[in-house]
Structure 1
Amino acid sequence: MRPLRRPRLWLGLWIAMLAMVIVLSLVPPPDLQVPLPDHADKIEHLLAYAALAFAGLQLFGSRAALAWMAVGLVALGVGLELAQGTLVPAVRRMDWLDAVANMLGVLLGVAPLRTRWATLLLRRGG
């Protein structure tokens, strides 16, 4: 972990984000009355996993920790897609394009690794 001022708070928030993604991936989707553009869910997947990876980038400083975080998020994204197809097929369906969007989101989230954005929380007194 990076030497943050409130590491437990930030780690707890990151874990809460993970839990929210897991729950929202397995419960029935909301019945929205507003029509969404085609593939809007892919954008949601990309943004959710980018946010998780970027938040993890703020927390974990070592290369090993960052690698485990990124690999773990990719595994989570693929695993949740498999779970949708096998555990809750009545309310969700597996879509490999969602898994690809998850992976691209992780890449997007860790892309600032070698920039000042990687230590934004640390520099802001987190």
Structure 2
Amino acid sequence: MSALRFGRSLKPFRRPWLWSALWCAAIAAVVISSLLPAADVPVPDMPNGDKLLHASAYLALAAMAVQLFPRWSSLLGAGIGLVLLGIGVEYAQGVLTVDRIADAQDALANTLGVIAGLGTRLTPLRDLLLKFDTRGS
């Protein structure tokens, strides 16, 4: 019987624990910042600046998933999970906070960010982290 290997669905990194932990930390940072009091979160001073912030955060999370996972099936799972996370966080804002509201347009911005982030899979940058991680080996 072969031993189970951590990160079987990940690209062949030298340090899969590190990159997975950083992605999880980024997800946690997005969730925490989404539930902070509104006054504590800097928002770009422009029309729909908060939507840009939402889309950017979820674009970054999805682009990080592209760096981690080699197969479309894994990316689809990560993408669906991120979309559901975005919807759940919006719901939590309405239920768990006193100065924030659940906003369907924010959830849409999150979803569009996920789609754009997954789109980086179609670019030459899709293996940037793998090249960085395995250089010199």
TM-score by length of 1: 0.90
Unaligned runs of 5+ in 2: 1-9
Q: How many residues align?
A: 125
Which of 91, 100, 104 is 1:92 aligned to?
100
Give 2:81's aligned residue: 72
Q: Does residue 14 of structure 1 match 2:9?
A: no
CA deviations on 1:82-116 (whole Å, 9 max, x unpaired) are: 1111222x121111111111001001101121332
Larger radius of gyration: 2
Within a 5 Å distance, the mapping from 1:1-126 to structure 2 comes to 1-30=10-39, 36-88=45-97, 90-125=98-133
2 CA distance for matches of 1:52 and 1:125?
Answer: 19
Deviations 1:14-54 (A, max 9, x none): 00000001111111023589981221111100110000000
Q: With CA pairs under 8 Å and 6+ residues apart, which has the higher RCO, 1 or 2?
A: 1
Name the aligned partner's letter for residue 119 of structure 2: A
Q: Take 1:32 and 1:8, find their aligned partners in 2: how far apart are those partners?
A: 30
Secondary structure of the equivalent of 1:93?
coil
SS class of match (1:30)? helix
Please provide the CA RMSD for this pair.
Answer: 2.0
Contact 2:57 2:113 survives alignment (8 Å) = yes
Task: Confirm or deny: 8 A CA contact 1:27 1:91 kept in the other structure.
Answer: no
Which residue number corresponds to residue 5 of structure 2?
Answer: none
> What TM-score, normalized by structure 2, do the two folds share?
0.83
Among all aligned residue pairs of Structure 1 and Structure 2, give the percentage whose two residues are the same amino acid: 43
Conservation of the 8 A alpha-carbon contact between 2:26 and 2:61 = yes
Does the aligned pair in 1 maintain the 2:93–2:100 contact within 8 Å?
Answer: yes
Moved >3 Å (runs of 4+): 31-35
Q: Kindly indicate whether the alpha-carbon contact (under 8 Å) linking 1:47 and 1:105 is maintained by their aligned counterparts in 2.
A: yes
> What are structure 1's unaligned runs of at least 5 residues?
none
Q: Structure 1 residues 7 and 37 mapped into 2: Cα distance closer, same or farther (>3 Å)?
A: same
2:14 aligned counterpart, secondary structure: coil
